[in-house]
């Protein structure tokens, strides 16, 4: 993800305000990291869907998020 995408993600999650104390105390970093991982995983799965590299590749990528 680009810096702009991460900042937009934080804004969408309502985490763009507050100081470092709020960031650490609210475990906001954990929420942002997990959301970023989810978005990147889905982007990879969509690429597999388009490329049709292997029929189960996209399903396997998405399943990692369910574990």
Where along the chain do its domains lie? Answer: 3-64
Per-residue confidence band for 19, with pLDDT thresholds at 50, 70 and 90: low
Q: Provide the pLDDT for residue 12.
A: 77
Q: Provide the pLDDT for residue 60.
A: 83
Q: Provide the pLDDT for residue 48.
A: 79
| CB proximity list for 64: less than 8 A, separation 6 or greater | 41
The answer, yes or no, to whether residue 67 has pLDDT greater than 60, is no
Q: Provide the pLDDT for residue 22.
A: 60
Distance CA 7, CA 15 (A): 9
CA distances from 9 to 25, 40, 56, 58 (A): 19, 12, 29, 23
pLDDT tens per residue, range 35-52: 888 888 888 888 877 877
């Amino acid at each position: 993800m680009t810096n702009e995408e991460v900042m937009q993600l934080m804004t969408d999650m309502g985490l763009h305000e507050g100081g470092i104390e709020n960031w650490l105390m609210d475990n906001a970093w954990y929420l942002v990291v997990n959301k970023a991982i989810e978005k990147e995983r889905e982007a990879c799965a969509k690429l597999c869907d388009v490329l049709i590299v292997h029929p189960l590749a996209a399903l396997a990528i998405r399943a990692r998020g369910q574990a």
